[in-house]
Amino acid sequence: MELVFATHNKNKLIEIKALLPHYITLLSLDDIGCNEDIPETADTIEGNAILKAEHVRHRYGYNCFADDTGLEVEALNGEPGVHSARYAGEEKDDKQNVAKLLEELKDKKNRNAQFKTAIALNLNDNQNLFTGICKGEIIKGRLGDKGFGYDPVFKPLDFETTFAEMSLTEKSEISHRGKAFRALIAYLSK
């Protein structure tokens, strides 16, 4: 089976290829000649995933799935949420995003947060949505050098390490993305 994963993000591709069964050939947007950034203009994480999957299906004609992920922080009323990748500006700079988040939380006692991933699958003219959530907290400084995005400041519930201190295998077992993709893979395996 051949599926397009609607992303240009090489880090996401690496994570997802590690989760997929061998019989699924994963193509990226680059592989199908889509060099554009697909607009993410929805108000929800689920809405953005659907927008991206629909774009690939209508423009390129492939069976595909698209994801969107956001970090939702309680003390910030769910921000950065759908703006997670561009929290500190359009450059999508991970270090600047983390710095802004830590600055916004510097006087807050409540540091509860959750990562949320939504995956929209367009397969044979049907659409399905899969969601994964990982609850945790934002720590006060960066720890670890693995992963990407907010991983150095996110410590999952019941763990003593951040995502950035975990191996890819450890992170995939408990992460929002891992949960959503396991639900997708279970569906594809039916």
pLDDT tens-digit readout, 142-168: 999 998 899 999 999 999 999 999 998
pLDDT at 190: 74
pLDDT at 45: 95
pLDDT of 12 strictly over 80 = no
Yes or no: say if 66 and 9 are a contact pair by the CB < 8 Å rule: no
Distances (CA, A) of 111 to 76, 156, 175, 176: 9, 12, 18, 18
How much is the pTM?
A: 0.88
Is residue 151 among the annotated active site residues? no
Render 90-155 in DSSP notation, one character per residue.
Answer: TT--HHHHHHHHHHHHTT-S--EEEEEEEEEEEETTEEEEEEEEEEEEE-SS---SSS-TTGGGEE
Distance CA 59, CA 57 (A): 6
Q: Which helix (H) or strand (E) holds 187?
A: helix 176-188
Instruction: Please give the torsion angle defined by the CA atoms of residues 94, 99, 103 and 108, in that order, rounded to the nearest 10 degrees.
Output: 60
Number of domains within the chain: 1
What CATH number is associated with residue 55?
Answer: 3.90.950.10
Please give the share of the chain, as a percent, with pLDDT higher than 90.
72
**Looking at 30, 37, 43, 68, which residue is catalytic?**
68
The parent domain of residue 136 ranges over: 2-188
Higher pLDDT, 11 or 186: 186
